């Protein structure tokens, strides 16, 4: 913007033509940091301040509020349960894609599944985001296990992500990493209002039990699992939170079951009692 243009823009603001954009003050940011730590166990670093500001500004506009402090105040009201969940949704990072960290899926297909002993074979996708991870698992299980019974439980703290996941509708670009034979068998090309999208086949969608679950809160009864995918979520937790979570996760694994974390995460320094199989993959003896 040239100096002349800047003067015109500022002049308009002075004349009351353009709204002043609220700034997220440090003390306000600290309230949001504390909020998400208490609600989800997520540690937001100071570097996330611009990100938080840009995500929350929409809500300030929606309610026509002038400061982040006012928005925080609103969320804390007892009658604002929906907005509370909306804030949790906005403060979580949901990046994911189909067949992310392909090695895990190869390992499942070539080593873990062939050695299975009991049925139904049960997998938990413990931070399932928009569903890409559990649907990738479902395609693989459907293909490898044929008619043998299997179950996938997929959980997340974000209701917005769970809604997207249950629909199973994704832009065509998201199919990039899905093998053509899986696309043919388990996905349908969108038509009319779903043009440019693909839909996970209803039979596969119905096989996944999508549920709200806060990993750092009370858990509903889930049963025990042969494999637990806990990927790209512990990066947001501090050491104590991770320690507690891993103890609870290990308790949900069947004997001989596997815990799969992300290649970018580590269990170093955590007394988990599992055996190391290969980087990011552990099993219970
Ligand atoms: C970066 S995504 C990872 C998705 C997938 N596991 C993957 O690796 O592609 C992290 C997910 O963890 C969820 N999450 C964050 N904190 C959580 C918590 N306390 N309980 C359950 N889910 C949580 C977020 O909502 C988000 O969908």
Per-residue pLDDT reduced to its tens digit, 25-43: 999 999 999 999 999 999 9
Q: What's residue 118's pLDDT?
A: 79
Q: Which atom of ligand 1 is nearest to the CA of 214?
A: 20
- 186 lies in a domain? no
One domain for residues 82 and 222? no
Which residue's CA lies nearest to atom 16 of ligand 1? 40
Q: How far is the CA of 116 from the centre of ligand 1 (A)?
A: 27
Q: What's residue 263's pLDDT?
A: 97
Q: Which atom of ligand 1 is nearest to the CA of 130?
A: 27
For a mutational test of ligand 1's pocket, the pick from 233, 236, 280, i.e. the residue with the most ligand atoms closer than 8 A to its C-beta, is 233
Q: What's residue 20's pLDDT?
A: 80
Q: How far is the CA of 212 from the centre of ligand 1 (A)?
A: 11
The residue from 91, 121, 155 where one domain ends is 91
Contact partners, residue 6, CB within 8 Å, separation at least 6: none
One domain for residues 79 and 207? no
Q: What's residue 117's pLDDT?
A: 82
Q: What's residue 1's pLDDT?
A: 46
For a mutational test of ligand 1's pocket, the pick from 156, 227, 260, i.e. the residue with the most ligand atoms closer than 8 A to its C-beta, is 156
Residues framing ligand 1 (Cβ under 6 A): 40-42, 92-96, 100, 127, 129, 133, 156-158, 161, 213-216, 231-233, 236
One domain for residues 24 and 142? no
- The CATH number assigned to the domain holding 86 equals 1.10.155.10
- What is the b/e burial string over 243-261, where b = at least 16 CB atoms within 10 angstroms of the residue's CB? eebbeebbebbbeebbbbb
What percentage of the chain exceeds 70 in pLDDT? 93
Instruction: Show contacts of 59-66: CB within 8 Å, 24+ apart.
Output: 59/83, 59/86, 59/87, 59/90, 60/22, 65/22, 66/22
Q: Does the active-site annotation cover 30?
A: no
Please identify which of the residues 89, 156, 201, 226 carries the catalytic annotation.
Answer: 156
Q: Does the active-site annotation cover 59?
A: no
Q: How many domains, in total, are found in the chain?
A: 2
For a mutational test of ligand 1's pocket, the pick from 40, 86, 129, 213, i.e. the residue with the most ligand atoms closer than 8 A to its C-beta, is 129
**pLDDT in 10s for each residue of the chain, 285 residues:** 444 444 444 445 455 556 688 999 999 999 999 999 999 999 999 999 999 999 999 999 999 999 999 999 999 999 999 999 999 999 999 999 999 999 999 999 999 999 988 789 999 999 999 999 999 999 999 999 988 999 999 999 999 999 999 999 999 999 999 999 999 999 999 999 999 999 999 999 999 999 999 999 999 999 999 999 999 999 999 999 999 999 999 999 999 999 999 999 999 999 999 999 999 999 999
Its domain, for residue 31, covers: 3-91
* pLDDT tens digits for range 94-130: 999 999 999 999 999 999 999 988 789 999 999 999 9
One domain for residues 277 and 153? yes
Q: How far is the CA of 68 from the centre of ligand 1 (A)?
A: 25
- 123 lies in a domain? yes
- 181 lies in a domain? no
Q: What's residue 10's pLDDT?
A: 47
Q: What's residue 16's pLDDT?
A: 55
């Amino acid at each position: 913007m040239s100096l002349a243009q800047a003067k015109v823009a500022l002049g308009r603001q002075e004349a009351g033509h353009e709204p002043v954009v609220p700034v997220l003050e440090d003390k306000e940011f600290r309230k949001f940091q504390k909020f998400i730590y208490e609600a989800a166990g997520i540690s937001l670093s100071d570097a996330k301040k611009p990100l938080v500001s840009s995500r929350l500004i929409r809500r300030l506009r929606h309610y026509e509020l002038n400061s982040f402090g006012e928005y925080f105040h609103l969320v804390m009201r007892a009658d604002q349960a929906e907005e509370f969940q909306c804030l949790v949704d906005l403060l979580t990072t949901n990046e994911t894609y189909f067949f992310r960290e392909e090695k895990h899926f190869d390992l499942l297909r070539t080593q873990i599944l062939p050695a299975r002993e009991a049925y139904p074979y049960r997998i938990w996708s413990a931070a399932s985001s928009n569903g890409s991870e559990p649907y990738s698992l479902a395609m693989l299980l459907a293909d490898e296990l044929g008619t043998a019974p299997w179950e996938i439980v997929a959980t997340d703290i974000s209701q917005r992500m769970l809604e997207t996941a249950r629909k199973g509708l994704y832009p065509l670009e998201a199919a990039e990493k899905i093998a053509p034979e899986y696309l043919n068998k388990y996905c349908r090309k969108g038509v009319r209002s779903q043009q440019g999208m693909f839909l996970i086949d209803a039979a596969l969608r119905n096989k996944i039990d999508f549920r709200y679950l806060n990993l750092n809160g009370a858990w509903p009864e889930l049963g025990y699992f042969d494999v637990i995918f806990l990927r790209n979520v512990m990066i947001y937790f501090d050491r104590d939170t991770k320690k507690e979570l891993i103890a609870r996760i290990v308790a949900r694994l069947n004997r001989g079951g596997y815990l799969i974390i992300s290649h970018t995460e580590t269990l170093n320094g955590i007394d988990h009692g599992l055996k190391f199989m290969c980087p990011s993959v552990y099993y219970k003896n």
